[in-house]
Amino acid sequence: MKNIAILLAFLFLGTLRLSAQEFPGEKSTYNSYDRYDFTYNGRKCIVVTPKFIAKGKPWIWRARFFDDEPQTDIALLGKGFYLVYIDVAGLFGSPKAVEIWNGFYEYLTETHGFARKAVLEGLSRGGLIIYNWAIKNPDKVFCIYGDAPACNLKSWPGVNRQEMLDAYGLTKEEFANFKGSPIDNLTPLAKANVPIIHVVGDADKIVPVAGNTAIVEERYKKLGGNITVIHKKNVGHHPHSLKDPTPIVEFILRHVKILDESDGR
C-alpha cells in the first residue's frame, strides 16, 4: 500500500507539472517571454507565450529565420499574441510543407484553442510557405506580412535550383512551365479579402523586388486585393523589418478582428 501511495503521489505531481506548463518540451526565455521548444510530427517547433492573452488567443505564425529582426513579434507578444514557428526548411513552400503546416494548425487550434485565423509572417524564402499555405487556406488567415518575401520561384538568383526542384518533384523541363509560385495563384486570397503588407529594400539582389513583390502588388491590385508595400530606399535584402515596427503592427492589429469581436474563433 505504501508503494502504491508513493506511485500515486508521483503521478499527481507529474500531472501538476504538465498542467502548469502550457506546452511540451524545453522551457526557456525569449525577450522576457516564456518560450517552448518541442517537436511535432518530427518537426522542430517553437511557441512563445504572451504575459497576458488577448481576446480569442490571436497568434502570429513566423516562417523561417526565427530570431532575425524580431521587432514585430515582440511588439505583438506585448499585445497578447502568441508567436509560433514550425521548421519546414528546404521544402520551399512545396505541398509537403503545406501539409506540415496544416497539421500544426490543427494542433494549435484544436488542442490549444488558438484563434481560427492566423497572422502569417514570412521573411525572405519564408514568403513561399506563408503564401502557399494561405492560398490553400484563405479562410484561416487574418492577414499576411511579407518581409523581402520570395514569391516567385523563377526570380531567385541565389537559390539551390536542384534542391528546389527536388522539393516539388519537378524536372527542369517541367519547371519551365511551372505555375505553382505565389505570384501565379493570388485569386483565392483576393476572393477571401486577405490584406497583405510587404516591407522591401529597393536594392535587394537576393530576392529582387521587380520579380517578386512588384508582381504580387500589380496582380493583387488587379484582382481587387488590399496590399500595402513599404519601400526602404537604398537598402538591400538585409536588414529585414523596420527599426520601428509600428506601421507593421498597426496594420496587423487593424485586421485581427477578434480583438473586438466575440466570434473571432
Q: Tens-digit pLDDT profile for the chain (265 aa)?
A: 444 343 333 333 333 333 346 899 999 999 999 999 999 999 999 999 999 999 999 999 999 889 888 999 999 999 999 999 999 999 999 999 999 999 999 999 999 999 999 999 999 999 999 999 999 999 999 999 999 999 999 998 777 889 999 999 999 999 999 999 999 999 999 999 999 999 999 899 999 999 999 999 999 999 999 999 999 998 877 788 899 999 999 999 999 986 544 434 4
pLDDT for residue 21? 60
pLDDT for residue 238? 79
pLDDT for residue 159? 78
Cell 541565389 sits at which residue? 158
pLDDT for residue 13? 33
CATH number at residue 251: 3.40.50.1820
Give the count of domains, the chain.
1
Cβ pair 219, 183 in contact under 8 A: yes
Return the H-helix or E-strand segment holding 17: helix 2-20
Q: Would residue 12 count as lying in a domain?
A: no
Q: 182 Cβ partners below 8 Å, 6+ apart?
A: 93, 127, 128, 131, 132, 135, 151, 152, 216
Q: Would residue 32 count as lying in a domain?
A: yes
DSSP lists the bridge partners of residue 43 as 40
Q: Would residue 13 count as lying in a domain?
A: no
35 conformational bin, left if phi > 0, alpha if psi -120 to 50, beta if neither: beta
Cell of 218: 500589380
Distance from C-alpha of 173 to C-alpha of 7, rounded to nearest angstrom: 64
pLDDT for residue 174? 95
Domain that holds residue 126: 25-259
Q: Would residue 16 count as lying in a domain?
A: no
Peptide bond into 239 cis (omega under 30): yes
pLDDT for residue 156? 82
Torsion from C-alpha of 92, 135, 111, 23, nearest 10 degrees:
40
Closest by CA to 60, choosing from 185, 50, 112, is 50
Distance from C-alpha of 64 to C-alpha of 73, rounded to nearest angstrom: 13
Q: Would residue 161 count as lying in a domain?
A: yes
pLDDT for residue 67? 87
Q: Would residue 9 count as lying in a domain?
A: no
Distance from C-alpha of 60 to C-alpha of 70, rounded to nearest angstrom: 12
Q: Would residue 6 count as lying in a domain?
A: no
Distance from C-alpha of 208 to C-alpha of 152, rounded to nearest angstrom: 10
Cell of 228: 500595402
Q: Would residue 115 count as lying in a domain?
A: yes
pLDDT for residue 258? 67
Distance from C-alpha of 54 to C-alpha of 127, rounded to nearest angstrom: 26
Distance from C-alpha of 40 to C-alpha of 105, rounded to nearest angstrom: 11
